[in-house]
Structure 1
């Protein structure tokens, strides 16, 4: 028989059912909301005036019993319980009696498991709800004709997530409620002022064919050997050949015209183990095959896992400068994400972003920049060269390339307004975490100064999107209850 107070703990992407663990839930009490009030005392006036109210942390009190068949199992489950209720961050509880509600808790202080017999025990534990509200299942509504009447069944306000697919190029996106609270990125343009494209795509290659790519006679700090093929829609090294140092296949492609101000982005996968080495390099060349810049990710250690992103302007023969050279423990051993190098005027910048396939967003951004005031690194780029490398005969990391994109950066005048998002782009306004994403990239720097991550209130909400006809939008939220 299962206790009517039974519950499930959700922690570290796992579910732990108390009944299945052999724990009997004797009681489960959620304390009332803890109202903290500030009051003003007015001279010569009876009583007080209410100044403000906030709901503080809330308590949950649970009593449980353990019944085991032998002392060894009893000792094991006691320590399993200690581990289960301790966490570095909040975990959630879903009660069998209310499976459509979820509360988030942490354990503070200590508690003891009383030994009733050598194989049975009983304990009480107090948990803290840092967020004092209980949440219902996620709800979703779709906007129709750029507007939405939304009924929030919760008794408290909720933090929404809006997601928009862009239907036509636009310089801004705004979401506004009936009270005038709004979220906006970009900037609207007057009717008599055309918006300007901030860039032109020069090369977009999805790495599904090597037809447009040509042979490379030599590479920097290594030998050309082996070949590049296509597997699962990505460039992969099909062989590395042999060599006494770095060696491997390389290909290059000419751009339709030389570029002064540019941004190159490439999406790569780099998976390495402690005994594996490897490198992916993307070189930017001028018309005479001289190196103008380089993007790379590599592992040059044979005894531990490594993943270093390195970005450079200029050839190793000089002059040259590293824009960024960084590693991140999260990317060891597996990395899939974006490498980017940009030059706009004297500003040269590099960026490395890990892509989280679970959320569809980029995170753990590493970026750096410098200003080329001396004009040492201003040669136009005319070609893109790619290379996969193996060191000697060491075991090689798993490597592939998913996409290469090169754009020309256009100059935007002081009074000109650039396009923010293009048809087909995806925008996410995450009011739960105060961030805005464009195609998975954080663009909260584009947020309008007066915009706010507004809430959905209890009851009826009227929400509108602008520009009209430019967005296909939906909203997700979890109703909150006391």
Structure 2
């Protein structure tokens, strides 16, 4: 039976692996040094090196082939689309239960006359990561803060740790034996412990209850404002606000709903998120307007796509003084690669501690990273309020979504949620409850990423802890602190 290849799970039905191809494995390289006057050599190292090889593929191109006879240009076009990636992809032989992470190199050389001929094309494969990985992954859940991992491969393998906090905690640690451990936070018992960043508001927009519709008026914000008076409904998956109706107008028109905080805040951190559907082009904006105790605008975080026929999204953060004068303190436009993506999940955060503001934005490619594990286009900036113009306490927030009334086209984008924290003064030698009840921690020891609620937490990694692998065979992992986390460990058997 002819074997074929899968690239990121997809195949070409008329492309087969040439019979007689030998799969390379065990790509160890031994390095030695010659010593003058001594027979032989001296061993230096044994390393699993990068490996490159040619993969010969047969093109079936006659009347019996899938979709019939194809021209040279048709074949080339499909092959280029099949192999053209600027990052590593999964390469699997259909008959095998493992895959490589590979890069492809050209050139692709195909006979100019392809009809009714046996055509063999060779693709160059680069194994920067020389291991094979099992197609089917494994996972196990911790019992009494211990989890067993059984790696049935022939070498060690990285792990993914997912831990849901059942209550607040100042740290999370997972350890293997007495030496290998990974930790975020601080477990030093000599330091005083307190929650210096209590959660004030968490709303993931699964209900409109508690929100007040603003029936008319205008948000005085030259970039992210506009006419209000429209209405929201819940998005079809009940995880976001979606515009249900619009007010009249030829400029920006939309809906704003507001909610007050349980207390006014001086120092705070707010994280907001949204979803952007870029497949259907058009103008649109979503904005989170923050108000002071006198219901005056003090800050806004938002996303704007101003073009009618293309994706040109950008993030904007602005501040407003007591008189309503606006200053834009942050703007980040999407790079061309992001503009080509179909759906984005966007995040924006604003932190104010005294006169110092910190802004951070990041996003995820929803189709290729539905679990939000690889943040993209991270931007981070600070701003100092040297004149004390933006120090008023914050007391409420408005969620605004709008289209441009001058155009029939609208890019769909919806707000998805808010997380608001108070920032209390923290002594330099104190420990903070950096992990809140309900937080999801995700640690990937292969990509060396650590996320908490889809936000990078690398800054909280304990110095000295490491992204360890689990050995082949059985490994016991221990979770600390005990009784705080519901933890699952995922892995893929790995082979030489």
The structure-2 alpha-carbon separation of the partners of 1:82 and 1:344, relative to structure 1 and needing over 3 Å to count, comes to closer
How far has the Cα of 1:334 moved from its partner?
Answer: 4.4
Among residues 88, 91, 96, which one is paired with 1:90 in the alignment? Answer: 88
* Map of 1:15 onto structure 2: 10
Q: Is the 8 A contact 1:242 1:393 kept in 2?
A: no
How far has the Cα of 1:182 moved from its partner?
Answer: 1.3
* Map of 2:375 onto structure 1: 363
Alignment of 1:263-412 (within 5 A): 263-271=269-277, 276-315=282-321, 319-329=325-335, 330=338, 334-357=343-366, 358-361=370-373, 363-364=375-376, 365-395=378-408, 396-412=410-426
* Map of 2:246 onto structure 1: 240
Structure 2 runs not aligned, ≥5 long:
none
CA distance in 2, matches of 1:454, 1:255: 42
Among residues 120, 123, 133, which one is paired with 2:120 in the alignment? Answer: 123
CA distance in 2, matches of 1:245, 1:419: 45
* Map of 1:437 onto structure 2: 451
CA distance in 2, matches of 1:266, 1:375: 25
Q: Is the 8 A contact 1:31 1:59 kept in 2?
A: no
* Map of 2:99 onto structure 1: 102
Secondary structure, counterpart of 1:243 in structure 2: coil
1:63-90 per-residue CA deviation (whole Å, 9 max, x = no partner) reads 4444533695263565244654554333
How far has the Cα of 1:188 moved from its partner?
Answer: 0.5
Secondary structure, counterpart of 1:120 in structure 2: coil
Q: Is the 8 A contact 2:147 2:489 kept in 1?
A: no
How far has the Cα of 1:183 moved from its partner?
Answer: 0.8
Q: Is the 8 A contact 1:269 1:401 kept in 2?
A: yes
* Map of 1:255 onto structure 2: 261
CA distance in 2, matches of 1:263, 1:128: 45
Q: Is the 8 A contact 2:5 2:17 kept in 1?
A: no
CA distance in 2, matches of 1:244, 1:96: 56
Q: Which has the larger displacement, 344-353 or 274-283? A: 274-283
* Map of 1:68 onto structure 2: 61
Alignment of 1:135-174 (within 5 A): 135-137=133-135, 138-174=137-173
How far has the Cα of 1:168 moved from its partner?
Answer: 2.9
CA distance in 2, matches of 1:114, 1:127: 21
Whether 1:230 and 2:264 are equivalent positions in the alignment is no
* Map of 1:219 onto structure 2: 219
CA distance in 1, matches of 2:52, 2:147: 37
The structure-2 alpha-carbon separation of the partners of 1:108 and 1:231, relative to structure 1 and needing over 3 Å to count, comes to closer
Q: Is the 8 A contact 1:61 1:124 kept in 2?
A: no
From the two aligned structures, give the one with the greater strand fraction.
Answer: 1
Q: TM-score, normalised by structure 2?
A: 0.84
CA distance in 1, matches of 2:81, 2:402: 45
* Map of 1:476 onto structure 2: 490
CA distance in 2, matches of 1:225, 1:193: 50
The structure-2 alpha-carbon separation of the partners of 1:81 and 1:268, relative to structure 1 and needing over 3 Å to count, comes to closer
How far has the Cα of 1:235 moved from its partner?
Answer: 3.1
The structure-2 alpha-carbon separation of the partners of 1:463 and 1:40, relative to structure 1 and needing over 3 Å to count, comes to farther
Structure 1 runs not aligned, ≥5 long:
none
How far has the Cα of 1:446 moved from its partner?
Answer: 0.8
CA distance in 1, matches of 2:48, 2:363: 38
CA distance in 1, matches of 2:50, 2:407: 56
CA distance in 1, matches of 2:417, 2:115: 63
How far has the Cα of 1:197 moved from its partner?
Answer: 1.2
Q: Is the 8 A contact 2:176 2:476 kept in 1?
A: yes
How far has the Cα of 1:177 moved from its partner?
Answer: 1.2
Whether 1:458 and 2:475 are equivalent positions in the alignment is no
Report which of the two structures shows the higher radius of gyration computed on alpha carbons. 1
CA distance in 2, matches of 1:84, 1:246: 42
